[in-house]
Structure 1
Amino acid sequence: MLTVTPLTAFNDNYIWALQTSQNHGAYVVDPGDANVVIDFLKTNQLPLLGVLITHHHHDHTGGIAQLLQHYGIDTPVYGPQIENINGVNQPVSATKSVLLKNIDLNAEIIEVPGHTLGHVAYLIDNILFCGDTLFSAGCGRLFEGTATQMQQSLALLSDLPESTKVYCTHEYTLANLAFANVVEPNNAELIRYTQQAQQLRANKKPTLPSSIGVEKAINPFLRTHTQVLQKTISEQFQQPINNSAKTFALLRKWKDNF
């Protein structure tokens, strides 16, 4: 049995801690802040078994050096091969399955360029750790990749089973939903999900995890193939649009300035 615990960091980051009933200890995903991780492990009397990194941005990698200093340089740290991240000693690229050291879990590595060129996601059982690629009701900004790359990456993720749980790294849901409701105001599932997310945040609870099925129903960046989205983008930018790629690129541009 796999348990995932959110560790809050900075203003809106989540560092995800993974534990299994078979192994004593935890993996952490994207530890931008080492102290948050050390405090959690110390409180629960757990060793650090390993680290998963999705991409090179400092709010995802800033704690690696301190964690290796604290728990030992032999601690396995997985991360995207092409990004040459300091402290990553288990570089990964797209592969069907990698057996994570010390915890006996298989992780499928999915290359998802767009936010950064080397961004990867980790699929463990039905749990997806997708960093800053797919957010609930949104997607990451295009700092290094193109709109085409991001759309292709999101298509890979949207092809996963709808029950797949989505663990991204930021609590951006309400801000993303504000935009999504402008883009598609008559989406009943989106309205319902917005109310649910607002209630969770009012109670100081995470809106995550989401699921692939939910995101396909409410996330405008996974819905650019629909006539509704294409019509909205055509009207917003006052130009005829009848394909998903152009819709996606303009939708991302709109969100950047929203």
Structure 2
Amino acid sequence: MADEHAATHTEHGAAGHHGSVWPFVIALSGGIGFAGVITYFPLVFVGIVLLIAGLAGWLLEDTRVKFGEVTHPTEPGIFKAISIRKLGMWLFIVSEIFFFSAIIGNSLALRTRAPYWPSPGVDSPLNIPLTALNTFILITSSFTMVQALKGVEKGDVRLFRGAILATLLLGIAFVSIQVYEYNKLFFGEHLTPWKNDIAPQLATFGTTFYMQTGFHGAHVTGGVIGLAYLNYKAWKKDWFTPKSHEGVELIGLYWHFVDIVWIFLFPIVYLI
């Protein structure tokens, strides 16, 4: 009976417990990041670094084991129609919805109390055309991610490899443009996450801007790491097949989520 469960779970992509430390590191990064928002802002960057390191470590830990391979039999429990990994991803996404809702809500509350707030396209230091291009890049990457999943489901290796590579390159482009934007804003426009003597009127605006786009950028960077992992695995023979490709689905879910978050952030931060 246990063997039957194990076989069933292998096909659907479940996995046994492996005692990884990386989920703890990822959770710790969130706690440190929030502590930085409340107490000492540079701690936010420590949280971001830990988040990226945690995601990278978790994926690297899986480089020798397929998504879907079971080393210990597992019982289906009450969730018989979904693997434990996919359930975990959905629960993670739900928690992230609350996370970003809190950040956006807090930023809007600070905006209503700020003595000064720059008007978009008038005296705002933000580059709207450049960010609109970046938004288009991220939305396009969702389309290529869909094509990658379609390719692996149909067993079309060329489509899968081409689409997953395109998604990775688009993700890298998004992060690179955001880094360029941060450099221009920080050193050229003196927009910092804290109050400075050159542009003190932008203190609250800068804090909310970097808090919202920075956390999102960290999530996109984590997604890029996941896409790099998929590209690495895509060139291994028979690693992903039409019957065993849960890794593509999970990272695809995460990638679509960060895209949707940006669709909300772009107008809130840049246009309103």
- Of structures 1 and 2, the larger Rg is shown by 2
Considering fraction of residues, name the structure with more strand: 1
TM-score in same-fold range (> 0.5):
no
Q: When the two structures are superposed, what TM-score results if normalisation uses the length of structure 1? A: 0.28
Q: When the two structures are superposed, what TM-score results if normalisation uses the length of structure 2? A: 0.27
